[in-house]
Amino acid sequence: MRRSKNFLLSVVIPVYNEEKVLDKLFTRLLPVIEKYNYELIFVNDGSKDNTADLIKKRAKKNGRIKLISFQRNFGHQIALSCGYDYAKGDCVVSLDADLQDPPEVIDKMIAKWRQGFKIVYGQRLDRETDSFFKRTTADLFYKLINYLSDVKLPKHVADFRLLDREVVDFLKKLPEKSRFLRGLVAWPGYESAVVQYKRDHRAAGKTHYSLTKMINFALEGIISFSAKPLYLATYLGFFSAVIGGVGILYAVVGRIFFSQYWVTGWTALFVSIMFMGGVQLITIGIIGEYIGKIYKELQNRPLYLVKEKINI
């Protein structure tokens, strides 16, 4: 299936305190997308600096540049979801503002889309710009989620991608409040392709993803697309029961047949208590994560609150 040349391209960019990089972003992005019929949608995720004001200045001069500002920070995945809600394009590209993912790759994505692919992922050739710790944990995350989940995520892809209108409309219909978009995009099984590129260093400013946020993001992805951690809790329960049974048998046999050598010690007691306590806490934690998700869904609060809209 080949698409018409007269399509509308939507580019969605979540921003949070990105004032230092915006001028560079416009300088590189606009020459790429101006050859198309386009709209450029910024989702201001509760920025505390002059990010919104800088975008407004651009939007006054160019009606195709649009801004949606949240009341407060709701998170990157929610900001992306908002952008998809408002995007009108026949294809929608999501891009971070930090220029680590080069806008020039958009042309290659569109070429793949016009060949008929519904999803075109931007795939990093390497992670040399990341620290050793981040590279290692990222590899571990993809191996773990692909093992635990029935939804297989392509390796070294993030939120830099192109989606066909059909895929965007599908995402908008999904009711869940926990939005792990990498999994939601892959879940329906639309025909996909990848465009490889070399990732750059951040153009300016500092990353907004702390270690805590990365861990929470990983947990969100695993729990959203797999019930296997619950099975793990069950296996841990059976395993601890077996260990406890062996310990009981050992204590009874020793007390009956070797009572003259039997010395009651605190070491075995301490180890058994710590082991059982650890298993119980892990199990409760896993179950608690799922209960928390159920609670969040039952609250049924809106994903985000819009404070201001420009050119929309």
Q: What is the pLDDT of residues 35-90, one digit of tens each?
A: 999 999 999 999 999 999 999 999 999 999 999 999 999 999 999 999 999 999 99
- Calpha distance 299→256 (Å, rounded): 58
Average pLDDT of every residue of the chain: 84
Q: Higher pLDDT residue, 237 or 91?
A: 91
- Calpha distance 161→193 (Å, rounded): 10
- pTM value? 0.78
Query: Contact, 70 vs 79, CB < 8 A?
Result: yes
Strands 192-197 and 119-124: parallel
Read off the pLDDT band of 249 (50, 70, 90): confident
**Averaged pLDDT for residues 126-144:** 70
Strands 91-94 and 157-164: antiparallel
Instruction: Check whether 195 has a pLDDT greater than 70.
Output: yes
Q: What pLDDT score does 271 carry? A: 66
Instruction: Check whether 212 has a pLDDT greater than 60.
Output: yes
Q: What pLDDT score does 268 carry? A: 66
Q: What pLDDT score does 300 carry? A: 84
**Averaged pLDDT for residues 106-112:** 96
Instruction: Check whether 274 has a pLDDT greater than 80.
Output: no
Q: Find the range with the poorest average confidence among 3-12, 122-131, 293-302.
A: 122-131
**Averaged pLDDT for residues 225-254:** 72
Read off the pLDDT band of 208 (50, 70, 90): low
Q: What pLDDT score does 270 carry? A: 60
Instruction: Check whether 312 has a pLDDT greater than 60.
Output: yes
**Averaged pLDDT for residues 12-19:** 96
Q: What pLDDT score does 276 carry? A: 74
Instruction: Check whether 260 has a pLDDT greater than 60.
Output: no
**Averaged pLDDT for residues 261-287:** 70
